């Protein structure tokens, strides 16, 4: 009897798949590949240590928990040969999932051809899908898809953004959701106008007219940036960076900091609000620059954005990049 391995993007979807009674082992891939330092080989011990340190500093995820979970995932892939007849990848349309998909396809592309069948199911999370219907739409992973995934992961892992920018001009239709996802990735770079990335810009625009409830803000930003696949933990981290920098761009009303990993939402969190500082208003209008004021220390794939000057920024005029 064939042995199936399903790799899915999160626990919620994993639970739905289990409830469907579709045959096979289910592995939930728990790695946020649009956060922290990235490399071609994600099981590299030096890189994993860097990522664990990053996740602890940004989200307070205990380093040993992060390292243990990540190593177990990678080991499961290493042990596939002879154990599994078919791997079925279930992935969403957003950046979170598309990066995960490209990494996994890149990782699995080294398997001997024909040793394990690779199949793919892609879907749009904004549409209410039935698991059984999606399963009937399963298709074999093609050589074009594997080749494209390797190209994307190689470019995303590079220490500069130019190779990914060049790749964006190629035909990406082998993975139909990829173009939109990589366009969202472009928006993660600080702008030349005021040093804000795309989501930071939206956050400041939403609160420019007064105090806004934090949970309501998360819902609004999530709707407007569905191509990112933004989680609440990532969003709290973004707000905290804007709040706790040298020249804060927003103020938190009702609490003293945003929740971290493993923490329950604080008492009366539903009443917490945020509002712009005077500096936030100046940055929003382009009269001040967030990066020049507060500096930056973050990663977009293999690109380390660090310091106040000579930082890679996006150019809205030609969709290119420039260091300034």
How far is 312 from 306, CA to CA, in rounded Å?
9
Task: Using the 3D structure, point to which of 186, 212, 229 is the last residue of a domain.
Answer: 186
Mean pLDDT calculated for residue range 61-76: 93
This prediction has a pTM of: 0.92
Q: Is 273 inside any structural domain?
A: yes
The pLDDT tens digits of the residues spanning 160-219 come to: 999 999 999 999 999 999 999 999 999 999 999 999 999 999 999 999 999 999 999 999
How far is 311 from 324, CA to CA, in rounded Å?
6
Q: For 90-110, give one letter per residue: b (16+ CB within 10 A) or e.
A: bbbbbbbbbbbbbbbbbbbbe
CB 145 within 8 A of CB 177: no
How far is 279 from 116, CA to CA, in rounded Å?
56
Mean pLDDT calculated for residue range 249-277: 96
For residue 13, is pLDDT > 70? yes
Residues in CB range of 92: below 8 A, 6 or more apart: 9, 98, 122, 123, 124, 125, 177, 229
DSSP string, 200-244: HHHHHHHTTTS-EEHHHHHHHHHHHTTTT---HHHHHHHHHHHHH
The reply to whether 172 and 221 lie within a common domain is no
The pLDDT tens digits of the residues spanning 105-153 come to: 999 998 877 788 999 999 886 566 688 888 988 999 999 999 999 999 9
Q: Is 104 inside any structural domain?
A: yes
> For residue 144, how many other CB atoms are within 10 A of its CB?
12
Task: Give me the number of domains the chain comprises.
Answer: 2
Q: Is 192 inside any structural domain?
A: no
Query: Dihedrals φ, ψ of 171, to 5°?
Result: -80, 115
Write down the mean pLDDT value for the chain: 93
Displacement of CA 6 from its chain's centroid (Å): 21
Q: Is 191 inside any structural domain?
A: no
Q: Is 259 inside any structural domain?
A: yes
Quote the pLDDT of residue 81. Answer: 65
Quote the pLDDT of residue 126. Answer: 56
How far is 105 from 99, CA to CA, in rounded Å?
10
In the DSSP assignment, the letter for residue 7 is: E
Any idea what the CATH number is for the domain that residue 22 is in?
3.40.50
Quote the pLDDT of residue 124. Answer: 82
The reply to whether 311 and 170 lie within a common domain is no
The reply to whether 159 and 83 lie within a common domain is yes
CB 313 within 8 A of CB 194: no
How far is 215 from 247, CA to CA, in rounded Å?
24
Task: Using the 3D structure, point to which of 186, 209, 230 is the last residue of a domain.
Answer: 186
CB 23 within 8 A of CB 131: no
Q: SS3 for 18?
A: helix
Quote the pLDDT of residue 285. Answer: 96
Quote the pLDDT of residue 66. Answer: 95
How far is 113 from 115, CA to CA, in rounded Å?
6
> For residue 72, how many other CB atoms are within 10 A of its CB?
11
The reply to whether 23 and 143 lie within a common domain is yes
* Placement of tokens 């205990």 in the chain: 62
The pLDDT tens digits of the residues spanning 265-285 come to: 999 999 999 999 999 999 999
In the DSSP assignment, the letter for residue 269 is: G
| pLDDT category of residue 1 using cuts at 50, 70 and 90 | low
The reply to whether 76 and 218 lie within a common domain is no
The reply to whether 230 and 251 lie within a common domain is yes
- Termini Cα distance of the chain: 59
Q: Is 236 inside any structural domain?
A: yes
Q: Is the dihedral of CA 186, 167, 229, 65 positive or negative?
A: negative
Quote the pLDDT of residue 128. Answer: 61
Number of H helices, E strands in the chain: 13, 12
| pLDDT category of residue 77 using cuts at 50, 70 and 90 | confident
Per-residue tokens: 293: 């004021």
Per-residue tokens: 264: 């329950």
How far is 295 from 98, CA to CA, in rounded Å?
29
Per-residue tokens: 57: 């500093």
How far is 194 from 135, CA to CA, in rounded Å?
45
Share of the chain above pLDDT 70, in %: 97
Q: Is 225 inside any structural domain?
A: yes
How far is 15 from 26, CA to CA, in rounded Å?
9
């Amino acid at each position: 009897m064939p042995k199936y391995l399903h790799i899915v993007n999160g626990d919620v979807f994993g639970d739905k798949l289990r409830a469907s009674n579709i045959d096979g082992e289910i592995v939930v891939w728990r790695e946020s590949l649009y956060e922290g330092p990235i490399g071609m080989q994600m099981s590299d011990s030096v890189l994993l240590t860097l990522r664990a340190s990053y996740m602890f500093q940004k989200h307070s995820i205990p380093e040993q928990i992060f390292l243990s979970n990540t190593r177990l995932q990678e080991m499961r892939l290493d042990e596939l040969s002879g154990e599994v007849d078919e791997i079925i990848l279930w992935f969403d349309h957003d950046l979170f999932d598309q990066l995960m998909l490209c990494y996994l396809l890149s990782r699995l592309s080294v398997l001997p051809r024909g040793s394990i069948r690779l199949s793919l199911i892609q879907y749009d999370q904004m549409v209410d899908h039935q698991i059984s219907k999606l399963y009937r739409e399963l298709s074999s992973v093609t050589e074009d898809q594997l080749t494209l995934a390797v190209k994307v992961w190689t470019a995303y892992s590079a220490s500069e953004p130019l190779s990914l920018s060049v790749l964006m001009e190629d035909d990406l239709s082998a993975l139909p959701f990829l173009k939109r996802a990589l366009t969202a990735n472009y928006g993660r770079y600080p702008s030349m106008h005021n040093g804000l990335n795309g989501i930071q810009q939206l956050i400041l625009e939403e609160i420019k007219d007064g105090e806004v409830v934090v949970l309501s803000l998360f819902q609004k930003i999530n709707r407007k940036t569905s191509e990112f696949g933004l989680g609440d933990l990532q969003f709290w981290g973004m707000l905290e960076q804007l709040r706790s920098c040298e020249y804060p761009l927003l103020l938190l009303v009702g609490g003293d900091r945003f929740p971290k990993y493993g923490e329950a939402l604080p008492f009366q969190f539903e009443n917490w609000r945020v509002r712009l500082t005077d500096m936030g208003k100046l940055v929003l209008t382009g009269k001040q620059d967030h990066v020049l004021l507060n500096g930056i220390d973050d990663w977009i794939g293999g690109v380390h954005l660090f310091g106040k000057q000579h930082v890679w920024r996006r150019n809205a005029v030609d969709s290119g990049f420039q260091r300034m």
